[in-house]
Amino acid sequence: MRIVAALGRRRIRDASSNPLMDAAIGTKVPRTMKSCHKTLGVIALCMSCLGLFPLVSQAQLKPGDPEYRFLAGDKIQLTVARRPSLNQQLTVQETGVVTAPIIGDVSVADLTLKEIQIKLFQALHDVYPSVKEADVVVEAVLQHAVYVTGEVKTPGKYMFAEPPNLWDAIREAGGPTGGAALDAVRIVEDQSKGGQSRVVNVLEALEKGSVDQLPPLGDEDTVVIPSTADTYTGSFGVTVLGAVAKPGLYRLQSDHRDVMSAILLSGGFKTEAALNGVKIIRAREDGTTVTLEVHMKQYLDSGDSSANPLLEPGDTVNVPQQRNWKANWSLILSTAAAIATIGYLIINIRRGY
């Protein structure tokens, strides 16, 4: 059976030059040599425990590595010389088997590529005695894993034969939901590559018809599609403060950048909000700020768009509270208490009679 190049080739040294091999074939090994090998074994074990000579875990291996043990979802390519009908790409199923032509199911879970190759050859040889070991070749099909989370229809881990771009991954996850904020999609690199992240405007690429130019994804990258209702922590947001339901930092929408949209994102006005005193605080490039006053009541009453201006990234919207709101409520509460007291007295007087 021929082993593919990805597994590498190991050259076996002459047995006479290897003390361990000498022991295996019966050659006398000096007692001091045996003691030396035991000592070296103990030292290697201790170094592994201390992390000085780290052992490679299954999680660090890839399907192309000789020691990798295949799991459900992994793929292999079976090639049989002079029998093209048997050539096929096989996927390890959840039950740990691959289903090959003619020979049916073969259990390969937790086996290395070399062990899988031996099992497939044995199964084929039982059906086709003329098949030789060198005729059977099994290769690992390398895949690129991408994690897609957030506002997509089916979040999860997806495997690609070739490195996908950002839109390929979103589409494979069922596409975006109606609440997806496609103008703020985040790509997070795998920690082994630095764990850097960046924000990509997928919505703009869709509008321009240039999704094929979106950035490619690396193996083990994570794609995060935020919700339009989520609060935002990036640099393209506005802060909404004061008499609103949920004060905070919210992401600007490409098609909803006005003051009212930002207020709606924050849950809307509270009862005590002063609609004619809304202010926009905007930072200038020279470090100073400018304050703009907005009459939201005028916009709500007449629909005058000039009273609902567009916001810029970094703006702060402050919705003040009515000055006499607390005083009015105090008056209302005191009046209600007085009425209740009078009613109570009247009822008691009538009962007395």
Mean pLDDT in residue range 319-329: 66
Mean pLDDT in residue range 40-54: 47
Q: Is the pLDDT of residue 15 over 50?
A: no
DSSP codes of every residue in 210-268: -GGGSPB--TTEEEEE-BTTSB--SSSEEEEEESBSS-EEEEPBTTB-BHHHHHHHTT-
The Cα 276–Cα 293 span in angstroms is 8
Contacts of 12 (CB under 8 A, 6+ apart): none
Q: Is the pLDDT of residue 245 over 60?
A: yes
Q: Is the pLDDT of residue 221 over 60?
A: yes
The Cα 35–Cα 4 span in angstroms is 38
Identify the pLDDT of residue 51. Answer: 45
Distances, alpha carbon 52 to alpha carbons 31, 39, 46, 49, 191, in Å: 29, 17, 9, 8, 22
Strands 237-242 and 316-319, by their bridges, are parallel
Distances, alpha carbon 125 to alpha carbons 87, 108, 139, in Å: 15, 17, 19
Contacts of 219 (CB under 8 A, 6+ apart): 144, 145, 146, 163, 190
Residue bearing the bigger pLDDT, 301 or 330: 301
Provide the pLDDT confidence category of residue 1 given band limits of 50, 70 and 90: very low
Distances, alpha carbon 140 to alpha carbons 69, 73, 98, 106, 253, in Å: 11, 12, 13, 16, 45
Identify the pLDDT of residue 98. Answer: 95
Strand order across the beta sheet in which 136-140 lies: 88-91, 75-80, 136-140
Residue appearing with tokens 């030059």: 17
Contacts of 249 (CB under 8 A, 6+ apart): 231, 232, 233, 237, 238, 239, 240
Provide the pLDDT confidence category of residue 153 given band limits of 50, 70 and 90: very high
Provide the pLDDT confidence category of residue 29 given band limits of 50, 70 and 90: very low
State percent of the chain over pLDDT 70.
Answer: 72
Provide the pLDDT confidence category of residue 329 given band limits of 50, 70 and 90: low
The DSSP element (H or E) to which 316 belongs, if any, is strand 316-319
Instruction: Please give the mean pLDDT across all residues of the chain.
Output: 78
Q: Where are the alpha helices (DSSP H) in the chain?
A: 19-25, 31-50, 113-127, 166-172, 202-208, 259-265, 296-302, 325-352
Mean pLDDT in residue range 105-111: 94
Domains, the chain, ordered by start: 5-57 (no CATH), 60-140 (3.30.1950.10), 145-225 (3.10.560.10), 237-319 (3.10.560.10)
Provide the pLDDT confidence category of residue 7 given band limits of 50, 70 and 90: very low
Mean pLDDT in residue range 100-106: 91
Provide the pLDDT confidence category of residue 156 given band limits of 50, 70 and 90: very high
Read off the pLDDT of residues 261-312 as tens digits, 9 standing for 90 and up: 889 888 889 888 888 889 999 988 887 889 999 989 888 888 888 899 999 8
Contacts of 247 (CB under 8 A, 6+ apart): 240, 241, 266
Identify the pLDDT of residue 350. Answer: 65
Of residues 58, 60, 78, 80, the one with CA closest to residue 70: 58
Q: Is the pLDDT of residue 44 over 70?
A: no
The Cα 181–Cα 152 span in angstroms is 10
Provide the pLDDT confidence category of residue 59 given band limits of 50, 70 and 90: low
Cα 250–255–260 angle (5° rounding)? Answer: 55
Per the CB < 8 A criterion, the answer to whether 70 and 110 are in contact is: yes
Per the CB < 8 A criterion, the answer to whether 111 and 162 are in contact is: no
Identify the pLDDT of residue 172. Answer: 94
Distances, alpha carbon 207 to alpha carbons 26, 121, 333, in Å: 76, 53, 55
Q: Is the pLDDT of residue 11 over 90?
A: no
- The half-sphere exposure of 129 on its side-chain side, counting CA atoms within 13 A, is 0
- The half-sphere exposure of 89 on its side-chain side, counting CA atoms within 13 A, is 8
Mean pLDDT in residue range 6-26: 36
State percent of the chain over pLDDT 90.
Answer: 32
Tokens linked to 38: 């035991």
